[in-house]
Amino acid sequence: MGRTITIDPVTRIEGHSKITIQLDDSGHVADARFHVTQFRGFEKFTEGRTFHEMPSLTARICGICPVSHLVASAKTCDQLMAVRIQKRAKICAAS
């Protein structure tokens, strides 16, 4: 039969959201969903802008976690440009 675990509300973000986790009969996670019940439309701010503007724009969207938005956006820009970060640079950044 399985079971469903619901975390509602998620309080570590700005806005309204919940998490639902579906467990199978043996108690392992079969599915997990993050539901954001609020539409803000921030994507519209970025339409027509160049990709290299995204880290600075996305960092300003949320006052709670600007660094995570900046890093995610910068990593996306790296992927767009097929940038390969050298292993030594990754090691230095992790320390």
Buried b / exposed e over 47-72, threshold 16 CB at 10 Å, is eeeeeeebbeebbebeeeeeeebbee
Q: What CA–CA distance (Å, rounded) separates 28 from 19?
A: 16
* Band of pLDDT at residue 95, cut at 50, 70 and 90: low
CA-based nearest residue to 35, from 4, 66, 57: 4
Beta-bridged to residue 23, according to DSSP, are 3, 29
pLDDT tens-digit readout, 43-56: 788 899 998 899 99
DSSP code for 51: G
- Over residues 9-59, the pLDDT tens digits come to 888 776 688 999 999 999 999 999 999 877 767 778 889 999 889 999 888
DSSP 65: -
